[in-house]
Amino acid sequence: MTEVLSTTAICKRFGGLQALDDVTFTLRSGEIRALCGENGAGKSTFVKLLTGLYRPDGGVIRLDRREVSIESPRHAEELGIGIVSQELSLAPHLSILDNIWLGSAETPFFYRSRSLRQRARAALATLGADNWDLDRPVGDLALGEQQMVEIARLLARNAKVMILDEPTATLSDVEIARILDVLRRLRALGHAIIYVSHRLGEIFQVCDGVTVFRNGRHVATKPVAEVDRDGLIEMMLGRASSDMYPPRSSEAARQGGLSVRRLHIADSVRDFDFDAPRGKITCIAGQLGSGAGLITRALAGLVPGATGDVRLDGAPILLGSVARALRHGIHGIEFISDDRAGEGIFPELSVLDNLVATRLDRHAHAGMLSWRELDRVGKSLAATVTIDATRLPAAAGVLSGGNQQKILFARSLERGAAGVLIMNEPTRGIDVGARADIYRLMRLFTERGHALIMMSSDLEEVSGMADIVYTVFRGRNIGRYEGAAVEMERILADMIHPSGVAGAAA
């Protein structure tokens, strides 16, 4: 394998923050290299330097052993460096062909030439998608297929170095397996790939080597075969790898909680029953598209048309409308979406404003907000979820995914009577250090007498955190497991292809 990309003594500072310090890195053809580290370790800054969004303060970048200065994202593309980000950059109403060539420097005004169409077709064929209709709108494709269009875009533009940043964060297990197969195919063709992911299992499945950043510095680069999961986590955190998951409560379930009977969502979920007792973490486990996410959203009042008998401590919960439920005086259920930016935080508001945003009525007197009281409550909540008090004035949108999730947790902790917290994919896009904090907060929540319901497609997370698991396949309740019976193998079998389930819910 020949050297394709290297950096020597790369540095980057933002004000008083040294984001990268003396980073040396080498990538060869036919290699998939994992880039790991906690949020804030310098991974994103490094990637932005390689793709022309930032300029280094010092050091050297070489492509094919030739020193280069990457002036802009377009220049990076011209040099053969491309990126597939976690957030897709596709135009859903345009065709596959349009998206492959959208924004390309070499695309002429009248670009529908035969040669560009042939190159797009060849790129898709490399990925095993040679039978796709190039004129089909991208919005009609599944998420995994859209990721393949992103990769085909890089291939069509002759990218020598491909950077994949959390490419599987929103995909099902089947789609993830397809993307990993595509990466193996690209490696065999000699492409050099940098793979950024918080999903450690994928790193051991597909990567040849792993590079770890910590606090802006290069800590180590090792062959994947010489590293195990605990050793990798230890390199990332800079301390001995302790148990990621807090111990389960040995106490019996408390009285009360949420009872769900005959939950029905047209064409998606049929007659789903389950119970979520207080003091326990109950998991609804299913792959993307199984209906698991719809079940939890329906319980939060976010699915119009959902029907069923749902009760909290015996009191009925109205489905289908959050506003209608509140008008009837029903409360006690809170929801944390897997889409933190779109349905969770207010990114432009401060951390303090976000912490107290849903409880303003509790801190108003005669219609006037008590800013002193809000400041006190915000600081107390920040301390409980280990958010640095100096971050309270900062915009919530600039925080890491882990800290954003802590904000949403803190909102749920500031309440009177114990209720129910529902979480969809609680640690999606969160690094291993912040995951341990989130898991600790989940246990804290149940220890305070709340019921916690989580929907997760992460099998390790399910087996590590759930006290009770209900598995979902095509909108149906397949199995229930509790305590020692919560095993990854059983849950995976139910999620992928359980016996005796023929059709989708209707």
- State the SS3 of 351-420: HHHHHHHHHHHHHEECCEECHHHHHHHHHHHHHHCCCCHHHCCCEHHHCCHHHHHHHHHHHHHCCCCCCE
Cβ(33)–Cβ(209) below 8 Å: yes
- CA pair distance 335, 294, nearest whole angstrom: 13
SS3 string of 307-338?
Answer: EEEEEECCEECCCCCHHHHHHCCCCCEEEECC
**DSSP strand E in 42-180: where?**
58-63, 66-68, 81-84, 161-165
Task: Give the H or E element holding residue 475.
Answer: none
- CA pair distance 99, 137, nearest whole angstrom: 9
**DSSP strand E in 110-227: where?**
161-165, 192-196, 209-214, 217-223
Q: Nearest-CA neighbor of 199 among 162, 165, 238?
A: 165
- CA pair distance 480, 421, nearest whole angstrom: 20
pLDDT the model gives residue 504 = 44
Q: What is the DSSP code string of 228-245?
A: -HHHHHHHHHTS----SS
Cβ(215)–Cβ(46) below 8 Å: no
Sort 417 into a burial class: Cβ within 10 Å, 0-12 / 13-18 / 19+: exposed
Bridge pairing between strands 81-84 and 192-196: unpaired
Per-residue pLDDT tens digits for 310-333: 998 888 888 887 776 666 555 578
Domain 278-496 falls under CATH 3.40.50.2300: no
Q: Which residues contact 14 (CB under 8 A, 6 or more apart)?
A: none
**DSSP strand E in 250-320: where?**
254-265, 269-278, 281-285, 307-312, 315-316
State the CB neighbour count (10 A cutoff) for residue 127: 21
- CA pair distance 294, 505, nearest whole angstrom: 13
3 state SS of 276: strand
Cβ(280)–Cβ(298) below 8 Å: no
Please report, for the chain, how many H helices and E strands are present, in that order.
Answer: 17, 22
Pick the CATH number of 3-237 from 3.40.50.1950, 3.30.70.20, 2.60.40.10, 3.40.50.300: 3.40.50.300
pLDDT the model gives residue 326 = 62
Q: Which residues contact 89 (CB under 8 A, 6 or more apart)?
A: 150
**Average of per-residue pLDDT values in the chain:** 85
Residue segments in the chain with a per-residue pLDDT below the cut of 50: 502-506
The phi-psi region of residue 456 (left if phi > 0; otherwise alpha if psi is between -120 and 50; otherwise beta) is beta
Phi, psi torsion values for 37, nearest 5 degrees: 160, 160
Q: What's the angle, vertex CA 281, arms to CA 244 and CA 309, rounded to 5?
A: 155
For residue 222, list its beta bridge partners: 210
User: 53-75 burial by CB neighbour count: b if 16+ within 10 A, else e?
Assistant: ebebeebebebeeeeeebeebee
Q: Nearest-CA neighbor of 453 among 441, 444, 440, 466?
A: 466
- CA atoms within 13 Å, Cβ hemisphere of 379: 8
Residue boundaries of the structural domains of the chain: 3-237, 278-496
Q: Note whether 3-237 and 278-496 share their fold.
A: yes
Q: What's the angle, vertex CA 184, arms to CA 183 and CA 186, rounded to 5?
A: 65
pLDDT the model gives residue 502 = 46
For residue 209, list its beta bridge partners: 33, 223
Query: What token pair was written down for 425?
Result: 């994919």
